[in-house]
Structure 1
Amino acid sequence: MFETYVTVIGNVVSDPRRRVTSAGGEVISFRVGVTSRRRDRASGEWQAGEALYLTVSCWGRLVTGVGEAVQRGRPVIVHGHIKTREYVGSDGQARSDLEMTATAVGLDLSRCVVGQVISTRDYEARTTGAIDADAVTDGHEAPDSDSHGRAA
């Protein structure tokens, strides 16, 4: 199957929806909208151009991360392969929708500020419920106190 990979920078326009498939896998989906803008040379004003909307589906480890970080209105960068899904709407009309199966999703930090950063090992502990002592201490003994002399 031919897969076209693209990166889209836009805004989340729907609340993410998490569901379990009939095979027991989890998927989380949301819509992303992008509107091109151009500056009118005569007036100096920015004008909205064409809009692009697509449905983004996330599988595997992305489900947890997207569920924690992505909300309607947030600026995102999504990367994955796209396809057109054709279907018949409830009104009997033929329709099509652009869909992406994401391989990476992130917040666009040029357009937002993130208040909390979760490290990879924190993520591992959250998703597996297990904490690897070597990962927490990087293979060294844990200190008895922090840099301010407080008990650890």
Structure 2
Amino acid sequence: MAGETVITIIGNLTSDPELRWTRSGTAVAAFTVASTPRAFDRNAGEWRDGSTLFMRCSVWREVAENAAESLRKGMRVIVQGRLNQRSYETQQGERRTVVEMQVDEVGPSLRRARAQVIRNPSGSTGGGGYQAPPASASASPEAAPPSPDAAQQSPYAPPPEDPWAAQQGAPAFDGEPPF
């Protein structure tokens, strides 16, 4: 929906994402992010924690499956999405309203950690509509182990399959403008 405010929350997962499927077979993962602001108290000369916000989040489809496979309790994550207010009735008949985040993007924070990104197989779609290129007759670079001479290749040389690389016999760019 146009005009919705997108927010970003950075915090730690309180538990592993819980993956479920709807009756129609759509994946949905639910998790909670605990975000605690910190501020430096100059008078005391120390950091002080503020009030912790516990934000319930839900993410859908392939991103839900990726989150459930990749994220674990305690991981520091960056979550971006839209707030959604939902009302429900308890078993005792009480009316309750909750605010949840409908997640568009989620991933690990790299502030104090490292991550290894593994692309989904080429038959799947993800990343906001990005579709991996079709598999060619040769093995894809993502799936193949690095060749022994890969370390010796110049980082400034174009990859062998680069369609935008200079054509054989074409004049090389010498750094001077053509005018």
Interval of TM-score (by shorter of Structure 1 and Structure 2): 0.7 to 0.9
Structure showing greater radius of gyration is: 2
| Residue segments in structure 2 that go unaligned for 5+ positions in a row | 126-133, 151-179
3-state DSSP of counterpart to 1:61: helix
* Higher normalized strand content (fraction of residues): 1
C-alpha separation between the residues in 1 aligned to 2:121 and 2:98? 35
C-alpha separation between the residues in 2 aligned to 1:135 and 1:65? 24
2:135 alignment partner AA: D
Q: Which residue of structure 2 lines up, in the alignment, with residue 24 of structure 1?
A: 25
Q: Which residue of structure 2 lines up, in the alignment, with residue 109 of structure 1?
A: 110
| Residue segments in structure 1 that go unaligned for 5+ positions in a row | none
TM-score (structure 1 length as normaliser): 0.74
1:22 alignment partner AA: R
Q: State the structure with bigger RCO (CA 8 A, min sep 6), 1 or 2.
A: 1
* Higher normalized helix content (fraction of residues): 1
Aligned counterpart in structure 1 of residue 140 of structure 2, from 124, 136, 143: 136
TM-score (structure 2 length as normaliser): 0.64
Aligned counterpart in structure 2 of residue 146 of structure 1, from 123, 148, 155: 148
Query: Alpha-carbon deviations, 1:71-103, whole Å to 9, x = none?
Result: 110000011111122334456554332211111
Distance 1:3 1:74, change over 3 A: same
State the number of aligned residues: 137
3-state DSSP of counterpart to 1:84: strand
C-alpha separation between the residues in 1 aligned to 2:112 and 2:93? 40
